Amino acid sequence: MKSHLKMFILLIAVMKNYSLLILSCFLAILFLTSCQSVKDPELKGIGNIRMGKSNTGNADLSIDLYYYNPNNYRLRLKRAEGDAWLNDRQLGHFIIDSMVRIDALSDFILPAKVTIDKEQLSKNAAALLLNREVTVKVEGVARVGKGPVYINYPIRYETRQSLKDLIK
């Protein structure tokens, strides 16, 4: 009788470890396939630059970032952060820290706030007056995901845009 009890306890222990192994493998496969299936949203352009609040050393700009979601499912943007340049001069630092829902296979707009140094703003303003086109560059990181899985993807964008299209 004792040997049957020992055998039964051993069988339960093996099944428990086996079940844990199967569950771990299943979760690992689910995690890896969900991360690979998320395509990076595409930055299409920058526009609608507006002056916001201003204090003694800094000024706030509101900028719209135009994106496209190439995935055939909805995503959520948890956070984005980076730097913006205008004509190779750093304009400022931007943060998007509110949750944004992004529809599948659609264009969307992310309103970003850029905090800039007033000295940099005056340097860029002089350059803007002399040029009809400017080089706009954005670099940073965004956290995008679906369900409980989020990934970081780099934001890299550079283009030449006319001032008329940039400032509305």
How many structural domains is the chain composed of?
Answer: 2
In this prediction the pTM is 0.66
pLDDT score for 87: 83
132/151 same-domain check: yes
Q: Is 146 helix (H, G, I), strand (E, B) or coil?
A: strand
24/94 same-domain check: no
83/19 same-domain check: no
107/129 same-domain check: yes
Range of the domain at 51: 40-166
Distances from the Cα of 105 to the Cα of 75, 99, 133, 136, 143, angstroms = 10, 19, 31, 26, 18
pLDDT score for 116: 85
> What's the chain's length in residues?
168
Mean pLDDT of the chain: 77
Mean pLDDT of 121-138: 76
97/19 same-domain check: no
Q: Please, where are the H alpha helices in the chain?
A: 2-37, 118-130, 163-166
Look at phi and psi of residue 132 and say left if phi exceeds 0, alpha if psi is from -120 to 50, else beta: alpha
33/45 same-domain check: no
28/92 same-domain check: no
101/21 same-domain check: no
Residue 62 reports pLDDT greater than 90: no
pLDDT score for 19: 45
Which has the closest alpha carbon to 142: 126, 154, 157, 127? 154
Rg (C-alpha) for the chain, rounded Å, is 25
Residue 136 sits in a domain whose CATH number is: 2.60.40.10
Instruction: Determine the Cα–Cα distance for residues 133 and 162; give it in Å rounded to an integer.
Output: 4
Q: How confident is the model at residue 159 (pLDDT cuts 50, 70, 90)?
A: confident
5/86 same-domain check: no
90/114 same-domain check: yes
60/95 same-domain check: yes
pLDDT in tens, 65-117: 888 999 888 989 999 999 988 888 888 899 998 889 999 999 999 888 888 88
DSSP state of 38: P
Lowest mean pLDDT among 10-19, 110-119, 120-129: 10-19
Instruction: Determine the Cα–Cα distance for residues 87 and 61; give it in Å rounded to an integer.
Output: 17
pLDDT score for 8: 57
82/33 same-domain check: no
Distances from the Cα of 158 to the Cα of 83, 143, 151, 161, angstroms = 12, 20, 23, 10
Mean pLDDT of 6-12: 60
Instruction: Determine the Cα–Cα distance for residues 158 and 46; give it in Å rounded to an integer.
Output: 10
Which has the closest alpha carbon to 65: 89, 94, 91? 94
pLDDT score for 14: 57
